[in-house]
Amino acid sequence: MPAAGRGLRLGPGAPKALRALSGTPMLVHAVRAMARSRAVSLVVVVAPPDGADEVRRLLDEHNAAGETATDVVVVPGGETRQDSVRLGLAALPDGVDSVLVHDAARPLVPVETVEAVAAAVREGAPAVVPALPVPDTVKEVQVRTGGEPEPVTGTPERSRLRAVQTPQGFELKVLAAAHAQVAREGDGATDDAGMVERLGVEVVVVPGHDEAFKVTRPLDLVLAEAVLARRRA
Ligand code: CTP
Ligand code: MG
């Protein structure tokens, strides 16, 4: 579980994973969401590089894995999300053969989504991503900085687009090979599955969920609080 980001787009404050959602750190919600699945036996939390001790303390304090059989370990993260995922993979014990990579910034993912991804991996898919159809029409543009109008260069057919979420599930050796390749060649994949695609390995999509949205901007905090309030009602 990469949780080492600073959350710049959320605005000033504590690292994003440590910010509260209805009084509980986002990371605790995210660990609970994963631990709820019987497919998950261990959660490796990748903490901000200088915050591993604080994160360990918070997770204990909130009894994050609750009464489940899931173990939780904490390791320090890196400069980029890719680095953090690689450091998390390095902390897995021997004998693990499949892995889910889940953003701490998606604290409200329903257990059904976790199980759907895990089931597809268990049934033999080397790489699985949960995703949803895209509601907006998407344009490709020539990027201009400084707020100038940007020329449109194309409009991909919306019905073929999917917005990708996490947890993304992998055969561990496939994901490890993808990370090793990126470490050698360096590139800017924005998700783990994108790195696996570059290896030429097939990635499949299973249905994602509205509540697996990523908390990125301030408005997402409003949505997350509303979802939690609805769950309590
Ligand atoms: N992440 C990480 N290590 C990094 C950067 C990101 O573990 N060096 C994690 C974040 O903690 C988050 C997930 O990757 O759980 C998705 O990243 P994102 O939503 O972009 O979070 P941040 O990078 O923290 O946010 P921002 O890009 O707005 O700064
Ligand atoms: Mg980021």
14-68 pLDDT, tens digit per residue, is 999 999 999 999 999 999 999 999 999 999 999 999 999 999 999 999 999 888 8
Say yes or no: ipTM exceeds 0.95. yes
Angstrom distance (rounded) from CA 40 to CA 64: 14
Atom number, ligand 1, closest to the C-alpha of residue 46: 7
What are the DSSP calls for 45-82, one per residue? Answer: EEE-TT-HHHHHHHHHHTTTTTTSS-EEEEEE--SSHH
Residue range 197-217: average pLDDT? 97
Any atom of ligand 1 within 6 Å of the Cβ of 9: yes
Average pLDDT value for the chain? 96
| Residue 79 CA, closest ligand 1 atom number | 8
Which two three-digit tokens encode residue 22?
């209805």
The angle that helices 52-61 and 26-35 make with each other, rounded to 10 degrees, is: 60
Class of the 8-131+166-232 domain? Answer: alpha beta
The environment of the single-atom ion ligand 2, i.e. residues with CB closer than 5 A, is 5
Q: What is the pLDDT of residue 138?
A: 98
- For residue 216 and ligand 1, the question of a CB distance below 6 A is answered with yes
Domain boundaries along the sequence of the chain: 8-131+166-232
Ligand nearest to the CA of 4: 1
pLDDT digits 0-9 by tens, 162-174: 999 999 999 999 9
